[in-house]
Amino acid sequence: MRAVADSAPWYWDAERLAAAYRSGETDPVEVTELFLTRIAEIDPSFNSYRLATAPRARADAEAARRRLRAGAPLGPLDGIPIALKDLIDTAGIETTYGSRILCGRIPAANAAVARRLRSAGTVLLGKLHLLEFAMGSITGNAYFGPCRNPWNRDHFSGGSSTGSGSAVAAGMVLGALGTDTSGSIRQPAAWCGVVGLKPTNGSINLAGIFPLSPTCDTVGPLARTVADAALLLDAIADHPAGISQAARPRSLAGIKIGVPETWVAQSVTDQVADAYEKALGVLDGLGADLLPVEPGFIEDEVTRTYQSIVLYEAANAHRAWYPERAADYAPYLRGNIEAGRRVSKEGYAAAIERRGSWRERTALALADVAAVVTPTQPTEAPQLNCDIAQVAGQAVSSLAIRGRFTMPWSVVGWPALSLPGGYSRSGLPIGIQFAAPPGAESQLFAIAASFEGAAPHGMPHPVP
């Protein structure tokens, strides 16, 4: 698919947009109308939005324009268009969690992160599609339909934050929030060619977000640039630490970055491997010390630990509707909940204990590096309803391996960020992931911003 430069206002970053507001080149009302028109015109091709909230967006934009004209903006996000995954409660606006069961549900209160973004002056353009209850497969949402990848409409956008990735990539919003329990922000970020962060577990208030797994769930930003993702993180974090100030390119001289060569080599397609090698070259050129590491966890055992915890917690979260309304669940989700119902309390407690052990072992194994770099996904974005990829000469299930590089960091609680790392021969984005110890988001954003600034492929955008 062709790509366009940043001349179109819907592809401006927050800094460029804020400068245009200050100069009078444009204002939040004009920009909001531009985005609402764009959503109406192109989203039928992608199915990113569950609904556009035009009345709310216009009211938000008018309020932002008044503040800007009075010289009293609320901050760097005042008047900036955003959208929210439809797992996040919004007062007075339908929130379905991606399920037919909850069509027509109107929350009385905003989720904590929605409230914080509103306090920052953002303009809410709408609610974004997701896989059903934030669980699903590459078939998309059985009730609301698949969300298509802006780089190639025949391919999946990633999940479970399907609409968050595609809307940001296609220029239908500047930034969005998604949720991530094993990769649900990072996968769509990788496959749609944008930036996505899973923060440190427990660092952001999840109140008002329907749980998949309360002890593994996180909420975080997706944006087209590292700097914009950092601004969004600063706005929603429980304890803002000036992350956006760290998200600036710099030399990485003396920064030790772990390279798990064996883990990656046996797990990826040829084109992902090529992009990864080029990414390592970029990091080397920035002066980083690239050190071979073993991550400290055994993949199969971490996977079993994850499944016991997440499926057990998910089954508990769905007791209000399951099994009484089992027929209203898609088969894939039904299977996961049934599996969770089979996990005993003793099995769950043992998995929680094992998770603590994996966290200790990972911290010890990676104590000498500032971050670890891997591909975000083992494969490029698969075709919708096509689950087969070629990895190391073998036909494998994309669904079965999609969490290979993302899920372990969710288990051990580390923050992890995906950003564009190149493109396949057919023009599909390939993501590179950096993970760092808990609480090290500033370090993570500094490394990511440096990589972004030096990556030779630039930052093109798909043309719908």
User: Do 89 and 95 form a contact (C-beta atoms < 8 A)?
Assistant: yes
Q: In this structure, are 334 and 211 located in the same domain?
A: no
* Torsion angle defined by CA atoms of residues 89, 93, 97 and 101, in that order, rounded to the nearest 10 degrees: 130
- We report the CATH number of the domain holding residue 105 as 3.90.1300.10
Segments of 150-259 assigned E as strands: 152-156, 175-180, 195-198, 218-223, 256-259
Give the total number of structural domains in the chain.
2
| Residue where one domain finishes, among candidates 350, 384, 408 | 350
| Residue where one domain finishes, among candidates 350, 384, 410 | 350
Q: In this structure, are 329 and 422 located in the same domain?
A: no
Query: What is the rounded CA–CA span in Å between residue 438 and residue 52?
Result: 35
Q: In this structure, are 213 and 293 located in the same domain?
A: yes
Query: What is the rounded CA–CA span in Å between residue 120 and residue 113?
Result: 11
Report residues of the chain scoring pLDDT below 50.
1-5
Query: What is the rounded CA–CA span in Å between residue 264 and residue 404?
Result: 9
pLDDT of 6: 52
Domain span including residue 63: 3-300+351-462
For the annotated catalytic residues, the residue numbers are 85, 160, 184
Residues 6+ apart with CB under 8 A from 121: 60, 63, 64, 67, 73, 74, 75, 77, 78, 79, 80
Q: In this structure, are 204 and 152 located in the same domain?
A: yes
pTM for the whole structure: 0.96
Q: In this structure, are 119 and 207 located in the same domain?
A: yes
Q: In this structure, are 333 and 421 located in the same domain?
A: no
Q: In this structure, are 397 and 382 located in the same domain?
A: yes
Q: In this structure, are 341 and 356 located in the same domain?
A: no
| Residue where one domain finishes, among candidates 330, 350, 370 | 350
Q: In this structure, are 189 and 331 located in the same domain?
A: no
Q: In this structure, are 367 and 449 located in the same domain?
A: yes
Q: In this structure, are 425 and 356 located in the same domain?
A: yes
pLDDT of 2: 36
Q: What phi and psi values does residue 308 have, to the nearest 5 degrees?
A: -65, -40
Q: In this structure, are 284 and 338 located in the same domain?
A: no
Query: What is the rounded CA–CA span in Å between residue 129 and residue 164?
Result: 7
pLDDT of 458: 65
